[in-house]
Structure formats: C-alpha cells, structure tokens
Structure 1
Amino acid sequence: MRLSARLLLVCLPLFSLPGLAAPVADLYQVREPVASQQPEERDAALGRALETLIQRLTGKADAAQSPALAQLRKEPQQVVSKYGYEGDALLVEFDSISTERALRQADFALWGANRPAILAWWLNDGSEGSSLVGDGQSAAQVLRQAAQYRGLPLRLPLADLSEQLLATPENLLAGEPDALRSASERYAADAQLAVLARESDGQWQAEWRLWLGDEREQGKAQGANQAALADALLLAVSQRLAPRFVVTPGAATSLTLEIQGVDLKRYAELQRLLEPFAAQLSKVQGETLTFQVNASVEQLRAQLALAQLHEVTEQAPATESDAEAATDGEPGPRILPRTDVLRFRW
C-alpha cells in the first residue's frame, strides 16, 4: 500500500493503531487524601498534589523542591484548573499547558503521557496465604490506584489457575523472566514487573524485578500496609523508567527519522509516539516516511521501541575509491553514515 502526504492527512482521523505503549489517563489529575475540608488542610493537599504531579512529569522525587519552583510551590493555584472534594479526598485538576510551561522555564525535561504499559505479576504472601493479584480481584484496586497516582499504565493478569501455579517466588525473583515470558505475551505489554510481597509483624515488604526489553531493574520496597507498599514500589519503578524517556534540557538535537513499512494505521501510531519531539513529516516515498524531530538519539530509540520498531543499521556501500585501495592491498576508507539520520522499520 503506497501513501501520499495528502492522503495521510485526509485519512488520519479515521484510523488508530492500539500499540503496546499506553497513554496515561488523567495524567494531570491528582487525588490527595484529606482529614477535613478546612482551608489549611485544603492548601496542604494542593501543595502535595502539585509535588505528586511534578514527580509524574519529571520522574524526579525531589524536583518540586527546586528553587526555580519556589513561587509555584507558594501558589499552586496558578496552575490549577479546578478542584473539589470526593469523599475523604481532594481531587485536583491541573492545567497541562501552564504546568508544562512552568516546569520547562525551570529547566526540567518532561515525560509525556505515552508510557510503557506494565504487566504486573504481583504475589501477596500474607497471613491468609499466597495469592497472585488478578485483574478481577478486590486487591487489584489497590494496585491500580497506586499506579494512577504515580502516572503508570498498569495491567494485571487474569490470575487463573495456570497463572497462579506459574507465579511462584522462584519464578518471580529469577534473574530472567523465562517462566513468565510466554504467559505475558497474551497481555501485549511493554514491560514485565514481578513482585513478591510479604507480610511480617503487620508490615509489608517486597522484592521486585522489572524487565523492559533486554534491560532489567530491581529493588526493594516496604510499607505499613498494602496500599503504602504499592505506592512506594511504583514510585521507585517510575523513577527507574523516567530517565529512559526524558532528556536534560539542551541534550536534544535536530534529527532526521526514516520509518519503513508504514500504512495508514501505523502513521496514526507514529503521530502519537513522535508528539513529544515536535515531529514534522517532510517526505513520503512509498511506504517510507521521513520526519524531522528534535530529540536525543537515546530518547528516540526508547520511545520507538514501545511500538516494537526495529532500528535499521545498513552498512555503507563501497565506492570506487574503496575498490582501488583494495586492489593495492590496503583497506579503503570507510564511509560512515550520517549520524543525524536514524532509520527504523516494523
């Protein structure tokens, strides 16, 4: 199927491709518990909500304490669209444009809403026995709330009998997720999170492993209850993932990006993936699209990996001077490809 730039622009609204990466719903909405609806408690909750949002967008736990954000911390209402009470919580809606502007002016790089979908194999080992947290269980709500609070798209397995038997402590804490890999394929996630949570003396502790592609992260977390444990653990996961998808100000450069094997549905997916890089479509040749983007090479590779795109590394063709030098018994000069051009394919 061949494409033209005009055809792409006309047909784009009709198509969408559900990639593995997942946009985080309500990224700019924060729910903070409150003890009362008194003004002092409300103002404190607004401050906590702002700190939570800044952590979501920057991936840095201490970003809100930056001196450059002192005025914003003093008056968080300047980036608040609205707020209201729901039960024992204050629900705050932040304005995305003014919040991002304030953070960029403070020289923070931002993590967009398009983030790796994480499949969590979460085994609770408590006083009532061991159980894998499944999608339809009441314990799943605790994990979902923690994931939303920390800005992560989380998926849970069905936790049927075969998966309950599979999720053993040995498999969850293994160096490689071999035992979980085939069972995870049905859920089409970008990353696998394996958690072994244990209760001891009324406290919860956990060991966790995170696999994203060929890279692994691991750590430990603890909390007074399951909700506190889930929040602490997913905060740590967020902080480990964020550096892969954000870059420090000034690190981005102008790059040419070629994508091979694009149809209309994949074009829609590319538009979503490349949105953080101010991508501009500059050329359409058959099923190959060329974009101009502003990003670092590492960040761009991490983002495209979410859609399972593979980098094309072609060896530069030989030239006549190469052949002449080879006949003299000496290797010809190696012609390096342009470093500002990246090529990927599906």
Structure 2
Amino acid sequence: MRILVRLFVLCLALSAAPSFAAVVANLYQVREPVASQTPEERDAALVRAFDTLVQRLTGDAGAAQSQALAGLRAEPQQVISQYGYEGQEIVVDFDPATTERSLRQAGLALWGANRPAILAWWLNNSLEGSSLVGDGQPSADPLQRAAQHRGLPLRLPLADLGEQLLGTSDNLTASQPDASLLESVERYGADALLAVDAHEQDGQWQASWQLWLGDSREQGTVKAGDEQGLADAVMLAVGERLAPRFAASPSAASHLTLQVQGADLARYAELSRLLEPFDAHLQLVEGDTLVFRVNASPEQLRAQLSLARLEEMPAPQAQAPQDEPGVAQPAPALVPRGDRLYFHW
C-alpha cells in the first residue's frame, strides 16, 4: 500500500517522454490459406500455423523444425486452444501459456508482445509508374497482412503529395536516410524506419530494404512472385534481424535489479508494460525513482528499455567514510554490482 501511495504522490504531472513501442495484437492467432476443409488439408495447415507462430515468437524461421520441437510439431493440437474457418483461411488460436512453456522447455529464446513500431516507406515501381504506399490505400493491404502474419507492428505514412516527392528510390536506397524520413518516425509514433524500394519485372517482384533502429542499420534484398509474397518476405527478414535484440534464451536470463529515475504515473504504467515479459516486481518507490526486480539478460533489458527512450547511467559511486581524528578507518569493501542497472528518462 505504501508503494501505491508513493506512486500517486510522484504523479504530480502525467506528461511523459513519448514511448512508441507497440503491443502486437493477436500474437497467438495465426491465419493460413487452405484449399479445402478436408482432414488432410486441415492437418497440414495446422503445422504451417505452428511454424508461423514459432517464427513470430523466436524470430527464427527454422526453429520449428528443430529436433526439440519434433513431437510438438507432429501434433500441434497440444498447444492449440481452438481453430475455425473464415473463407479460404483457417484461423488457429494457440494457448499462450502452454505454447510459451513448451518453447522455453525446448531452450528457445522468446520475443514478447511489446515490439518496436515500424514506419514503412514502401515504394512500388512497375510498368505503370512509381507509387509510395500510403495508409488506407488498397496497396497497403498486402503490407499490413504480412506484418500481422510475421508479428510486427507496422505503420505507414499518409503518402500525400509532399511525401510522394520525398519517397523516391534515391532517398529510400541511400545508405544514410534523409533527415525528413527520420523526422517522420517520431511524427508517426514509431521506433524504427523501414525503407523499401520494390520493382516489378517480367511478372516477378524484387525489393531492397533497409531498417534503422537507433544507431543500427540492417539491409537486404528479397524476391517473390507477387506483391503479397514480397511483403511477407520483407517482414520475415526484418523480424529475423530484430528478434535477436529483444529475445533471450532461458539460460541467458538472470535476476537483475533495475533502478529508473524520472518516473511519474504515466511512465510507471509504460515501464510496467515493457517489463511484463521479465516477471518484473516493483521493490521500491523513492521520489521519482523506481526500483524493480526482473528476470532477464542485461542485453535484452537494455534493448527493451530503449523503446521507452530510457538512457543508461553509470552506477553511482559510494562515498568514502569521513575520517575521525584518532580513529583508524577500515578499507572500504569493493562489492561488484553487475546485477544492478541504472536508467533515467
């Protein structure tokens, strides 16, 4: 109760630095196309849905084929709560607790539902000309479906006239993004910038993509037979590059103490949401400082906190005791605190 009272006391103002990390909706629900509703087609689709979910949670497209998951993949109904058909798709709902427990027992690193929001500047080049994909346009549907399929929070620009002039092949393929592109990331409430230059030639699609998150840059090229396949290939590649920063294996996790300065109630709520995958427990509230106990690796925790624009601080130095005349002082003990991390807004 004392901690709750202090939380409300420190909330004199609800303003907080913007945090754009997004919670992936329906992370444990997978849709797969089906040609029919026969038992054979159903069983094959359930296996594909299992493969898709494992890729979403681990970022590894080959993890579902590992020997550790062979039994589960052969009978994915063990972790399925329900399934049904909608048109030419089977909709499979996996049980989050059972699935997560099974994958952790297999030694796999898991990525939580809090993920970087990605702003995609996607340029389609075809015989009809070049067009920047905008939010709400029909051309946005393949991108949104692919992002949902791969478990990525995706945002698109409005693609008005000014943005069409900005979203050129030269700007989207440059090794350093245009300043206006970077500014758009915060304007659209995103964490990462994805620049895609897609081309259609002889009925085939190819795209070069670049992803900026903080100071890091990832890039690659993909090919596909149609726009939906191309969008899925890009999102798959992006997910594979992002997941290792945020997912950690059970063996890599440890008990850490996290101290965060500059908190108010809004920031406390946001921080609690970000720390949820790490079994966080609030230990202390002192002024605008929060102290949590978490179960995570330092690298995973740093990556997650970067989504809330938190900055790491050096550990405070202990003050040496004051000498008293005529009294010998013992040498201060050096106690390493590698299990404590300090951050601030």
| TM-score clears 0.5 | yes
1:103 aligns with 2:103: yes
Structure 1, unaligned stretches of length 5 or more? 322-332
Separation of aligned partners in 2, 1:68 and 1:10 = 47
**Tell me, what secondary structure is at the counterpart of 2:268?**
helix
Matches within 5 A, 1:1-346: 5-7=3-5, 19-179=19-179, 180-313=181-314, 316=317, 319=320, 338-346=337-345
TM-score of the superposed pair, with normalisation by structure 2? 0.90
Counterpart position of 1:324: none
Separation of aligned partners in 2, 1:198 and 1:120 = 16
- Asked if structure 2 preserves the Cα contact closer than 8 Å seen for 1:121 and 1:167, the reply is yes
- Asked if structure 1 preserves the Cα contact closer than 8 Å seen for 2:7 and 2:265, the reply is no
Instruction: Note closer, same or farther for the CA distance 1:23–1:126 as it changes in structure 2 (3 Å cut).
Output: same
Separation of aligned partners in 1, 2:4 and 2:49 = 44
Deviations 1:217-236 (A, max 9, x none): 00001110000000011000
Separation of aligned partners in 2, 1:293 and 1:161 = 47
Deviations 1:145-193 (A, max 9, x none): 0000000000000001110000111111111223311233310201000
- Asked if structure 2 preserves the Cα contact closer than 8 Å seen for 1:258 and 1:291, the reply is yes
- Asked if structure 2 preserves the Cα contact closer than 8 Å seen for 1:316 and 1:336, the reply is no
Instruction: Note closer, same or farther for the CA distance 1:277–1:38 as it changes in structure 2 (3 Å cut).
Output: same
Q: Which amino acid aligns with 1:6?
A: L
Counterpart position of 1:325: none
- Asked if structure 2 preserves the Cα contact closer than 8 Å seen for 1:16 and 1:268, the reply is no
Instruction: Note closer, same or farther for the CA distance 1:160–1:4 as it changes in structure 2 (3 Å cut).
Output: farther
**Tell me, what secondary structure is at the counterpart of 2:90?**
strand
Separation of aligned partners in 2, 1:78 and 1:256 = 36
Shift of 1:57: 0.6
Separation of aligned partners in 1, 2:138 and 2:29 = 23
Separation of aligned partners in 2, 1:183 and 1:177 = 11
Instruction: Note closer, same or farther for the CA distance 1:295–1:16 as it changes in structure 2 (3 Å cut).
Output: farther
Overall identity of the aligned pairs, in %: 64
Structure 2, unaligned stretches of length 5 or more? 323-331
Separation of aligned partners in 1, 2:263 and 2:2 = 11
Shift of 1:24: 0.3
4+ runs deviating over 6 angstroms: 8-11, 15-18
**Tell me, what secondary structure is at the counterpart of 1:255?**
strand
